[in-house]
Amino acid sequence: MTDPLTSFTGLKRGLLSDQIYDLIKAMIKDTTLAPGEQLVESQLARRLQVSQAPVRDALKRLSHEGLVTHIRHQGNFVASYTPEEAEQAKIARAALEELAGALAWRRLDDETQAYLVALIDGMHAAAAERDLTEFRELDFTFHRAVIEASGNAYLPRMWDIIEPSLRSLHVLGDPEFSGDWHEVAEWHRSLLDHLSGDDRDACARLFRAHAAGTLLDDADGGASAGAQSEGATA
């Protein structure tokens, strides 16, 4: 398997710490660097063929964001999560999604709308192939795209903090889910429909219910298509 660090080429010397920061952050988010794994500055620097200074700067930034934990006299480690912290992340995520749904309501331009539709279509294709890994990535991408569409620059940063815990605990794309993944994809279509609907509050509530795994009654009193088990997906 190709080492993602050694395959990362074209580093611009003036922006080393920014690029290394982006790389390590992406590897933490997709669990290439697993929770609890030690991050040794000298090893990372050798693999990237750079000095330790930009690596150190990147790790400090990630530590400030909560993605890396620095333990005195031991070093830096990918943040890991206790069951209590995981539950807190789920609660924070539900509130974040509710706010994103409210802010993104009727804000989608044609390009973003088409992008979200393509992601849902991709989920159906992945479901047909039983490719859970691909489905999971599309699921994360969908929610990140809505958060970015909110127009609030702080929400994507908040998502970046909680995403690693959601990934490590399979809050999205639980491999043990035995239901219909096509139905899961359609839950996202319901979310998209609400983003261009007539009721901002209903949109926000649906995003929260989707994230929290609770039932949400729609305006007609029926159970929303977005309600589902949190263990299935997000």
Question: What token pair was written down for 186?
Answer: 């359609």
Residues in Cβ contact with 147 at an 8 Å cutoff, skipping those fewer than 6 apart: 96, 97, 100, 104, 155, 156, 159
Please report whether residue 5 resides in a domain. no
Do both 88 and 72 map to the same domain? no
Checking if the pLDDT of 128 tops 50, the result is yes
Do both 134 and 74 map to the same domain? no
For 68, list phi and psi in degrees, rounded to 5. -125, 140
State how far the alpha carbon of 38 is from the alpha carbons of 69, 73, 80, 145, in Å: 9, 13, 11, 30
Question: What token pair was written down for 25?
Answer: 């952050």
For 71, list phi and psi in degrees, rounded to 5. -110, 120
Checking if the pLDDT of 47 tops 50, the result is yes
Spatial separation of the C-alpha atoms in residues 68 and 204, rounded to whole Å: 31
Q: For the residues 61-74, what does the mean pLDDT come to?
A: 90
Please report whether residue 48 resides in a domain. yes
Do both 30 and 130 map to the same domain? no
Bridge partner residues of 71 (DSSP):
75
* DSSP annotation of 229: -
Neighbour-count burial of 131, counting CB atoms closer than 10 A to its CB (0-12 exposed, 13-18 middle, 19+ buried)? middle
pLDDT in tens, 194-207: 999 999 999 999 99
Do both 32 and 144 map to the same domain? no
Task: Count the residues in the chain.
Answer: 234
Please report whether residue 227 resides in a domain. no
Do both 36 and 114 map to the same domain? no
Lowest-confidence range among 6-10, 33-37, 114-118, 206-210? 6-10
Better pLDDT: 118 or 177 = 118
Considering 78, 104, 122, which residue would you say is the last residue of a domain? 78
CATH of the domain at 51: 1.10.10.10
Do both 125 and 185 map to the same domain? yes
Do both 17 and 53 map to the same domain? yes
Question: pLDDT grade, residue 175 (50/70/90)?
Answer: low
Please report whether residue 231 resides in a domain. no
Domain around 53: 13-78
Bridge partner residues of 75 (DSSP):
71
Lowest-confidence range among 26-30, 198-202, 225-229? 225-229
Do both 29 and 73 map to the same domain? yes
Do both 71 and 176 map to the same domain? no
CATH of the domain at 194: 1.20.120.530
Spatial separation of the C-alpha atoms in residues 77 and 37, rounded to whole Å: 5
For the chain, what is the largest distance between any 2 Cα atoms, rounded to a whole number of angstroms? 62
